[in-house]
Structure 1
């Protein structure tokens, strides 16, 4: 990896807390100018990894590099990183401009220069003219953007974001994640983002690192993880796919003919040989039909959610979860249906990782 400003590297990093090993052996490269998300369920090690990068935790073993410099033993205040916390951590008695300028003044920059740079940072995050307000006079989304401005004004090599949207309601989460992604793409800073929310990770990331039990389960672009999961864990975690049994009938080149619930579809073979197989079947990869061709099933339950209907359907694949955006009126429980399976959203799961 080139020693470039903003590059991050973990080399055989282990972190233990007493007899418990949270991170057994982590090696990971983050390219400059990328937004990389650490994603995984609670307790998977993602926040511990971020805290080690920030200098808030020390590795038990291994090496951490930022911009080619070994920072493994450097204290947090000597690392060229800034952190945005889920709680915003704004000073309630300070006005917005003072909050943003605080870190600059603490590092010895004269107050006039610090205020000027704070105004520029607020303009970058779309909050021009609000420097005289108190945090309590801002919305949650505006407060989070102040926290981002306060971190960016220090011009760090790496911006760290720890569950930055978890305190916002659903609509604000969508807006602020768009703001963060747009800002990162415009300024091209390196960002490491922690979340347990799959949709959030898919929306903001260049690369997603899915963690499980302190280890990297899969690294890839949002599309790679969604469409080509490396294991049943990834398939289940990204997009809440159904993991079902199928049968590979034949392989031609890199295309497999696969039997799924009595219906044959063509899929990338992913190195899988003819015979029994496991498949990832996304909930929106199926259309519910009252009649015709498709996988037979019986509706166990249905829920109307405005722009789509959610079904649980029993059939040869077991009980599966289906999201249908074409159903205007939910079909009642007990209805016999056919499921039209679309290849996009269906993937064979490599056997050696299953």
Structure 2
């Protein structure tokens, strides 16, 4: 597995997060090996990979819930080996929300503010403002047993944001939210990060979400870090077919990788429409050609039916080197 070299994006001597030769596992079986990455303050790193690739395990190691088999985790330039989770300057939102069953939503969100030194009244006022921005003010007096899964996840997010840590850790925090609320939550994460200068590590299996929210994307598969780069880099220049498929739709055509938006209908090449997939704002056509099938994206509703003969053209493709095919 080849990982392209990148310049260190840290702007100072103390990155918000650094992993050095990190090996993580369950029992004696490694899940991730030889992990090296650096995240500057104020940046968001998306961890993108399939289930079992180590995304949650890495977040747990950063938070202090998992002890590395070897290597180190540094927060603010400090090796945090042996430092308990409550003494790490991180705010966590995991798939298991772990809300306190005896506290109301308002008191849950106010708790980290009170621990940081705010008086009870100030903490509750600030918590109420945060609930309002996340569109959950109506839940303030409820307890966890009275909340849906999506509501619990938004409360857990509010609690993490209230802490104003140096590093946020998010494990698919929008998984149970509808499209509108997902946008609200992502906007609030971006706003909080921008105001406080905190870094964020965001684990997801959704390529669209990862590319939209991140400054850097770490693609995990095969037991390690397959590629680290900006969203534009991992989308436009994936190092292998697996990375390409993890970062968005792709066709293997004539020995190369082709994204749907790198081809268009109309042009000198000929093909037969094999499938038509209406996606709302655009339509995907699977075209059958003598050199293989290729997915082509076109704006608007379908204009061709399966079996139709169409012309098309290709603007670019990525040819993989033999060692990573």
Query: Shorter-chain TM-score category?
Result: 0.7 to 0.9
Q: Is the radius of gyration larger for structure 1 or structure 2? A: 1
Aligned pairs, how many? Answer: 314
Question: What is the match of residue 157 of structure 1?
Answer: 166
Aligned counterparts of 1:175 and 1:347: Cα–Cα separation in 2: 35
Question: What is the match of residue 280 of structure 2?
Answer: 306
Deviation, 1:104, is 4.3
Cα 1:10–1:112, aligned 2, differ >3 Å: closer, same or farther? same
Deviation, 1:187, is 3.1
Aligned counterparts of 1:341 and 1:172: Cα–Cα separation in 2: 37
Aligned counterparts of 1:12 and 1:110: Cα–Cα separation in 2: 43
* Aligned 8 A contact 2:275 2:285 in 1: yes
Q: Deviations over 1:306-337 (max 9, x none)?
A: 332222221133122222225x4442222111
Matched, 1:193 2:202: yes
- What TM-score does the superposition give when structure 1 sets the normalisation length? 0.78
Question: What is the match of residue 334 of structure 1?
Answer: 307
* Aligned 8 A contact 2:264 2:298 in 1: yes
Question: What is the match of residue 210 of structure 1?
Answer: 219
Deviation, 1:226, is 1.2
Deviation, 1:198, is 0.2
Matched, 1:49 2:58: yes
Tell which deviates more after alignment, 132-141 or 35-44: 132-141
Cα 1:116–1:178, aligned 2, differ >3 Å: closer, same or farther? closer
Aligned counterparts of 2:227 and 2:147: Cα–Cα separation in 1: 39
- What TM-score does the superposition give when structure 2 sets the normalisation length? 0.85
Q: Map 1:98-177; keep pairs closer than 5 Å.
A: 98-105=107-114, 111-119=120-128, 121-122=130-131, 125=133, 132-134=140-142, 144-177=153-186
Aligned counterparts of 2:116 and 2:195: Cα–Cα separation in 1: 26
Deviation, 1:36, is 0.7
Q: Deviations over 1:154-177 (max 9, x none)?
A: 231111111101111234323422
Deviation, 1:144, is 4.4
Aligned counterparts of 2:185 and 2:290: Cα–Cα separation in 1: 42
What is the DSSP-based 3-state SS (H/G/I as helix, E as strand, rest coil) of the residue aligned with 1:94?
coil
Question: What is the match of residue 241 of structure 2?
Answer: 232
- In structure 2, list runs of 5 or more residues that go unmatched: 1-9
Matched, 1:294 2:265: no
Q: Please point out which of 298, 311, 318 is paired with 1:347.
A: 318
- In structure 1, list runs of 5 or more residues that go unmatched: 246-277
What is the DSSP-based 3-state SS (H/G/I as helix, E as strand, rest coil) of the residue aligned with 1:347?
coil
Cα 1:305–1:15, aligned 2, differ >3 Å: closer, same or farther? closer
Aligned counterparts of 1:330 and 1:135: Cα–Cα separation in 2: 52
Question: What is the match of residue 270 of structure 1?
Answer: none
* Aligned 8 A contact 1:199 1:239 in 2: yes
Aligned counterparts of 1:172 and 1:113: Cα–Cα separation in 2: 27
Cα 1:284–1:76, aligned 2, differ >3 Å: closer, same or farther? same
Q: Deviations over 1:268-312 (max 9, x none)?
A: xxxxxxxxxx422111222224xxx33221112223343322222
Cα 1:217–1:57, aligned 2, differ >3 Å: closer, same or farther? same
Deviation, 1:351, is 4.4
